[in-house]
Amino acid sequence: MSVFLPARPRRRTRIPQPGSPNFWVYGLLTAFVLGSIFPFYWSFLVASRDSSMLTEQVPPLVPGGNFFANAARVFDTVPFWKALGNSVIVAGSVTISTVLFSSLAGFAFAKLRFKGRNALFLFVVATLAVPTQLGIIPLYMAMAELGWANELQAVIVPNLVTAIGVFWMRQYTVSAVPYELIEAARVDGCSMIRVFWHVCLPAVRPAAAFLAMFTFMTSWNDFLWPLVALGPDNPTVQVALEKLQSGYYVDYSLVLAGTTLATVPVLIVFFLLGRQIVAGIMQGAVKG
C-alpha cells in the first residue's frame, strides 16, 4: 500500500527589488540631514545663551532663554531692520530680473535661429572666467559717475542678469521645450513673446525655481560689493553682521543671534520654491 505524503511547501525567498533603498541608504541620508541641520542648531544654541558657554568643557545641547534678549541687542547695536529691508529689496529685485532675463535669453539661444547665436553664447559663457573682483574699481567709478554711490541701485543694476543664469536656462530649455510645441503655437497665431510666456515659461518652471533660489541666496549672502558700494548708514544684512564683530572683543552670542535672524528669510524662500524644485526632479526622473 503506497502512502502519498504531501509535498513540503517551498520557502519563498524575498527578492529585493532593484533600486529599492536599503538600510545604508537611509542611514547616509539621515547622517547628511543631521550634518546639514547641526550648524543652524548650533548657531541658535549659542544665540540663546551667552558667550561663556563656549569656554565650558561640555557645552550644553539645550537652548537657553536669552535668544530674544540677544536679538534685541542686535537691533540696538546696528540698524538691523534697515539692513533686512535693504537685503529684501536687493535680493528680491535681482532674483526677479535674473529669472526673467535669463529665461528670455535662454529661450533665444536655445530655440531661435539668428546670425552669430553660437558666438554670442560662447562670449556669455566666457565671461564666467573673469573674476568678479577685477571689475570692482571700474564698476564703482561708473556708479559714482551716475550718482548712485551709497544707493541701492548700485547693488541692484549690475546684477540684473548673470551669465550663469543664461547658461543654466539655455541648457534646460534645449531639452524641455521641443520645437513641435513652438511650431504648433506659431501656427495658432501666437507671437514669439506669447510662445515664450505660454509655452516656454511653464515648461522651464522647475529650472526657473532653482535659479531663483540660487540667485536669492547669492544676492542675500553677497558681502564685498555692498560693502564697497553702500555706506555704513545704508547697509545690507551681511555688512551689518560684519559690524557686529568689528570690535576688539567679539560677542559670539550677539553675532550668531544676528546670523540666525538673517537666515530666516533664506529658509522661507527655500520652502516656498522647494515644491517646484522637487517637481522638476521628479519630472526629469519620469522622463529618464
Q: 137-193 pLDDT, tens per residue?
A: 899 999 999 989 889 999 999 999 999 999 999 999 998 888 888 888 888 888 888
CA dihedral 235, 241, 244, 245 (to 10 degrees): -120
CA distance 220 to 215: 8
Q: Is residue 2, in this structure, part of any structural domain at all?
A: no
DSSP single-letter state for residue 131? -
Quote the domain boundaries for residue 123.
78-284
Choose among 191, 204, 168, 165: nearest CA to 112.
Answer: 191
Q: Is residue 163, in this structure, part of any structural domain at all?
A: yes
pTM over 0.85: no
Q: 98-137 pLDDT, tens per residue?
A: 999 999 999 999 988 888 888 999 999 998 888 888 888 8
Q: Is residue 55, in this structure, part of any structural domain at all?
A: no
Q: Is residue 242, in this structure, part of any structural domain at all?
A: yes
Name the least confident of 57-71, 81-95, 141-155, 193-207: 57-71
Number of domains in the chain: 1
Cα end-to-end distance, the chain, whole Å: 64
What's 121's domain CATH number?
A: 1.10.3720.10
Compute the average pLDDT of residues 54-59.
Answer: 72
CA distance 241 to 261: 10
